[in-house]
Structure 1
């Protein structure tokens, strides 16, 4: 973990970051509720949009009408489960969590407002080496919510480098064998790796003048993603400083499906640092910095790519994006899923800070129409509109989370996330008139408004606003669980004073502190 690094001074105190090196973790594995060996006590349906895969489990409304998954673990330990669900009723649906026949915990699946309001519930359970049955067992006659999938991330010792992996180093050569002692180049390794294989990048700086592309069709599989990973304990930096600023000069471009990128730093590209055009990928523990457009962006591969093939079901996990800036000062965000993205894309435990434009950009426009709903959860956006060196540009939007454009309705989900000290709004609908789910977020000391939703039918629950630059606006369904700003701080604001700090825990989850005290997202 790095020492505390002071950054831009903000209303609630000097902001500091504790981001640093952490132990490698296995990527989450996704288990679809409609796919064997999963069991759905009810029916697999497709009625409500936004689901992953080929459907979701609509369980029978009865006690004991369970959904069950078989989760693989490499060793005895714990697993972090993320259950994606929707509950269109007004009443929470409760369930026992039963692992290998024993009840280990319980869960309450709260209302999501609509049956298309997909969100996730995170649980931690014990597992043993091998296959584990994980059963969601409803405890009332209301049954379960609709269940889309379960992501499982297992803990334990990091898998050692495989002797069958391909190895890359800054001094590798195209024709080398790709072993530890005879490393090859990244482009050569990409062309040689087999589905489900692994490429390890040794630490050091890799200098590139052209885009590195993982091409469409060079796919992994649902059972075994192809992995491009930092060698354990080392930090590879992909540096594209030799590129000029241009929309054709991206850094690392992932157009294939079922890949995992892990532990990479991508910097100084002429456009996006990482661009994801494929689907069903995991991008984990990456840092995108000093690029000349958005640090990490999702979008279609080409202008001819049909909407049915827009990138979908990608998970951006425990990633950081900062100090991305274009010469016009109006385009470079930290993260973006905009214009041409499909359904099921999720940002979790992600941190976007000190980018010249927005922290997150989910912009839509009339020419390309609506994008698929995006989920942002357990994430942090701060200081956007001002770079770490204090410089600014007058053209940037400077929002923490920008959620729309051109009056196009998209029902995004933003939950358990924090906006702090951004140069315009913290969370803004940006003309999205849809029914978004805005739940358990905290917004502090943003220049214009902490929450800015001037129209639409979004559902607001348990949000907190402190030290806003102006009175919040929240058109839609907002009940008394919210503490919005209307000139004074409410009681919950006492927890959000002092210096802001953050770090990634060993399991990749985001830890946020104010005044040295951890807060719950």
Structure 2
């Protein structure tokens, strides 16, 4: 055992399906806490055996041989910090039995549990993992069908004073978990997120942060109203969160923000196995992010879990000066640029955002009968272009390929879409998509989309001062609802306003974050 350390640690463990865990631990004032695998509170999904000598206690856990079987430990730590976790194991085979280690749902470590020669030869593996103050869930999941090694016991001990929490922490791609988190001694991204205090700031230094596991900000890590917790790029630098090691899977999101009152700014998130950035919390600001090459929608707002009650659906989030492009799933029908769909509350806003070259839609506000109406979403001062075709020319016939898809399954939601542009998307520019609500559609421009520039076949939406143009032939617009003479829709010929939208489109973000769109070098003012 390790010597006494300065923080008490209470731990209880649940062993499920024969997985070996390397735990996160918090600092301890007492001797290391030993958890014998063969007796309560540990639970072994397998058999408790004693036929191989050298174990401690009365036996060991011989878990089932199964992929994804888990050992779960619940560790109660009086304060946040790093803990050394030591697992005693035996592996009488000739190949390692690896496992993923997660703490509170976030990736913490990897364990190999290599061969020990015989089943009676025991050795240990030690991991350093972050714990937050209070209860922590630590999970070891085998990553092959062989399951885990035999597990004798687990010792949890911080060993040293915990790394500091604080209002300002720095992380870097080459940071270390136990580092102080200063500019000169940066820590890791996951350690900084576990240690930052509510209302504090994590600065990410530039470079590539590679991970095969979701980076999670859990629901109990809220910032404060009026004082959001910040996850910012270090000034003048570009941190890239790269998840290329992930397989395409709905569980494999990149950055998952389940907390509320956070401000995320300046990050690039790429190659996740599902959404690049997923937001399940409320009252967050996502600013100046780039989500690209992910295997589902680049940035999506939806409820955190199927059990999340409607009153906790994500609400009042602001996506600002964001770009989302070249997101593509293998089926070609799910990966949009941005989405606030299925299960979102009221007040979510997209402003000065650009969605381009995504395999499906630019924006998706889909609803379905199973979950009912969502809260009204506002999209303003934004741009959707070339959706349905990736930057390399790839297309998929399964994709919807719209610029702004505003509904689904005949459920009425009164969205607001204003001062936005749809340009050369693979199907419609703006489409109601079976949303019969009273949407406000005003001051928008739609140019040369493959089918209709404006497609609203039902509902009572209000249309004001919209402009539709084509450089060649195309399908007439359809706008069922309240459309007065301020609109210039396309019904076979361009109106006089189209002279302002005939040149080549270009776009950029101004220094203050505003989206600037030009046609033929002249700024567009929808």
TM, length-normalised to structure 2: 0.68
Residue 370 of structure 1 corresponds to which residue in structure 2? 373
Give, in whole Å, the separation in 1 of the partners of 2:354 and 2:346. Answer: 22
Contact 2:167 2:196 in 1 (8 A): no
Q: Name the counterpart of 1:198.
A: 201
Partner in structure 1 of residue 296 of structure 2: 293
Structure 1 counterpart SS, 2:499: helix
Q: Deviations over 1:415-468 (max 9, x none)?
A: 000000000000000000000000000000000000000000000000000017
Residues of 2 paired with 1:509 and 1:235: CA distance?
19
Considering Cα pairs closer than 8 Å and 6+ residues apart, tell me whether 1 or 2 has the greater RCO: 1
Q: Which residue number in structure 2 is paired with residue 450 of structure 1?
A: 453
Matched, 1:475 2:480: yes
Distance in structure 1 (CA, Å) of the matches to 2:233 and 2:194 = 18
| Structure 1 residue aligned with 2:500 | 495
Q: Corresponding residue for 2:248? A: 245
Mapping 1:21-32, distance limit 5 Å = none
Take 1:257 and 1:327, find their aligned partners in 2: how far apart are those partners? 32
Greater gyration radius: 2
After TM superposition, the structure 1 = structure 2 runs for residues 79-478 of structure 1, keeping only pairs within 5 Å, are 165-467=168-470, 469-478=474-483
Q: In the TM superposition, what whole-angstrom CA distance separates every residue of 1:450-504 from its partner, at most 9, and x where no partner exists?
A: 0000000000000000017200000000000000000000000000011100011
Separation in 1 of the partners of 2:284 and 2:319?
8
RMSD: 0.8
| Mapped partners of 2:167, 2:395: distance in 1 | 48
Runs of 4 or more consecutive aligned structure 1 residues displaced over 6 Å after TM superposition: none
Normalization by structure 1: what TM-score?
A: 0.68
Instruction: Give the distance between the partners of 2:212 and 2:292, measured in 1 at CA.
Output: 17
Spell out, residue by residue over 1:135-176, the C-alpha distance to the aligned partner (whole angstroms, 9 max, x if none): xxxxxxxxxxxxxxxxxxxxxxxxxxxx95100000011111
- What is the rounded CA distance, in whole Å, between the counterparts of 2:404 and 2:446 in structure 1? 10
DSSP-derived class of the 1:188 partner: helix
Counterpart CA distance in 2 for 1:186 and 1:164 is 15
Is structure 2 residue 520 aligned with structure 1 residue 515? yes
Aligned twin of 1:484: 489
Task: Measure the CA separation in 2 of the matches of 1:303 and 1:440.
Answer: 37
Tell me how far apart the structure 1 counterparts of residues 359 and 474 of structure 2 sit (CA, whole Å): 20
Which blocks of at least 5 consecutive residues in structure 1 are unaligned? 1-162
**Counterparts of 1:229 and 1:164, CA distance in 2:** 13
Which residue of the partner structure matches residue 8 of structure 2? none
CA distance in 1, matches of 2:396, 2:475: 22
Displacement of 1:223 in angstroms is 1.6
Q: 3-state SS of the aligned residue for 1:197?
A: strand
Alpha carbons 2:474, 2:492 under 8 Å: kept = no
**What do the CA deviations read for 1:47-88 (whole angstroms, capped 9, x no partner)?**
xxxxxxxxxxxxxxxxxxxxxxxxxxxxxxxxxxxxxxxxxx
* Consecutive unaligned residues in structure 2, runs of 5 or more: 1-165
Q: Offset of 1:238 from its aligned partner?
A: 0.2
| Residues paired across the two proteins, number | 359
Distance across 1 between alignment mates of 2:474 and 2:321:
29
Counterpart-to-counterpart distance in 1, 2:255 and 2:330: 21
Determine the C-alpha separation between the residues in 2 that align with 1:518 and 1:193: 42
